Amino acid sequence: MATNAPSPRQPTDWNTDAMQRRIKARYRAEKRFRFYGLFAVVLSAGFLAFLLVTMISSGARGFTQTELEVPINFAASDLFLDPAQLAGDNADAALSAADIEGVVRSAAIEAYGEDGGDLISNGSWIRVRDAIAADPQLLTGTETFWLQASTELDFGSRGDTGTRRAQLPERQAMISRWNRLEEAGQVRRGFSWTFLTASDSSDPTLVGIWGALKGSLLTMAVTLLLAFPIGVLTAVYLEEYAPQNRWTDIIEVSINNLAAVPSIIFGLLGLAVFINTFQLPRSAAIVGGLTLALMTMPVIVIAGRNAIKSVPPSIRDAALGIGASRVQVLAHHVLPLSLPGILTGTIIGMSRALGETAPLLLIGMRAFVATPPGGLTDPATALPVQIFLWSDELDPGFVEKTSAAIIVLLVALLAMNGIAIWLRNKYEQRW
């Protein structure tokens, strides 16, 4: 390029002050940027740690139970019940006719004085009833039971926590009461399976999470069984078969928009379509599952399409080139290779569905459900709804139970994410 020779200029001096300043500024910018990033990471990790520590410290007590020792002399009590009545078919009728609750209460008063009845939980007599049903011979003598302590006594067991509420005279009295009982060995507290095996109750000392957990599991099963196949098939069709035209574009935009619709709208949709039109039972896991499936499906479709898109075209060419049909290319190559991505999307969608409350409230899954659902059409509730319901209770005993339920929900979410990571690593292929 002799005709267009560059005009003569000085060789660049890399050591001028301006150059040095530029270098320093660059280093500073690098450092600053790294600091911002680090700060963001530390901040979010801090929030997470704070959440976990708070939840675990206040929720751990929810898994324990405070119990009081109560001796009951059945022979001397005015319980009109004898072992013979409990042998026959009408055992249940006989048990429910007998005033076991009164007997338990009087026994507590006898053992601990005037206010003894307030030391045990309102529902603690159920434990006595179950014991009698299991062994009617108890009725002939005296038996010592460990019964659930009332919320007040349980608060006493916490000692003086320094809060304003703990300074109230009745609370102070209960604290000293607990201390005396503890010295006498008449109280104990420890881990109890009750919280994990029982269901909802109006008495915070008797509640458990099992009903809600089972409701959530049933709902999730319905969601997965519907959203996964429909979502994957939709993704496959849109990505592999759909002709490129206006209709495909409209469907694509609709699905993307569907993923962004607030979940409460899905609740209204579920109410209108599944309950009003199709007359499915309200408060049932099947309706919850259907509604959440509508919400999860777009997430799976989007993740699935991206995963299918990321399978290198060379693999398709290779399979087509030796005479694989389109279905064979899909089933043998594209789907196995995109499975990790599809699964990740599915689990993200399912995790979101598991934590979803609003749509379930609208389809009636906020009902008080004291027995775990036996099937898909039984009244059920779900973990997040249970948390919502308990957080609304007036009885202070529900506070720690709410935190404990949150721990169960978080563990369920962690388990799901763990499965997702495991599956992804298991099926991940490199090429």
Tell me: does residue 320 bind another protein (CB under 8 A). yes
Q: Is the dihedral of CA 86, 92, 95, 98 positive or negative?
A: negative
Q: Does 324 bind another protein (CB under 8 A)?
A: yes
Kindly state the smallest distance separating residue 306's Cβ from another protein, in Å: 19
203: number of CA atoms within 13 Å, CB side?
A: 17
| Under rule CB under 8 A, residue 4 binds another protein | no
- Check binding of 322 to another protein (CB under 8 A): yes
Select 146 or 427, whichever has its Cβ closest to another protein: 427
**Between 174 and 319, CB nearer to another protein:** 319
Shortest Cβ distance from residue 335 to another protein (Å)?
13
Q: How far is the CB of 331 from another protein (least distance, A)?
A: 10
Stretch that binds another protein, among 16-24, 86-94, 326-334, 370-378 (CB under 8 A): 326-334
CA dist., res. 371 & res. 375, Å (int):
11
- Sheet containing 142-148, strands listed edge to edge, beginning at the edge strand earlier in sequence: 142-148, 64-73, 187-191
CA atoms within 13 A on the CB side of 383: 26
**What is the spatial distance between Cα 349 and Cα 328, in angstroms, rounded to a whole number?**
28
- Which of 16/314 has CB closer to another protein? 314
d(CA 305, CA 299): 10
Indicate whether 308 belongs to the interface with another protein (CB under 8 A): no
What is the C-alpha separation between 136 and 87, in angstroms, rounded?
Answer: 8
Nearer CB in complex with another protein: 135/317: 317
Footprint of another protein on 336-365 (CB under 8 A): 337
From 176, 317, 371, 375, residue interacting with another protein (rule: CB under 8 A): 317
- Residue 177 or residue 316: which is nearer to another protein going by CB? 316
Residue 140 or 314: the one with the smaller Cβ distance to another protein is: 314
Q: With contact defined as beta carbons under 8 Å apart, do 130 and 206 qualify?
A: no
Minimal distance, residue 419 CB to another protein, in Å: 23
Q: What is the dihedral of CA 40, 41, 42, 46, to 10 degrees?
A: 100
Q: Does 430 bind another protein (CB under 8 A)?
A: yes
Measured distance between the N- and C-terminal CA atoms of the chain, rounded to whole angstroms = 45
Query: Can you give the binding site for another protein, defined by CB under 8 A?
Result: 243-244, 312, 314-325, 328, 332-333, 337, 429-431
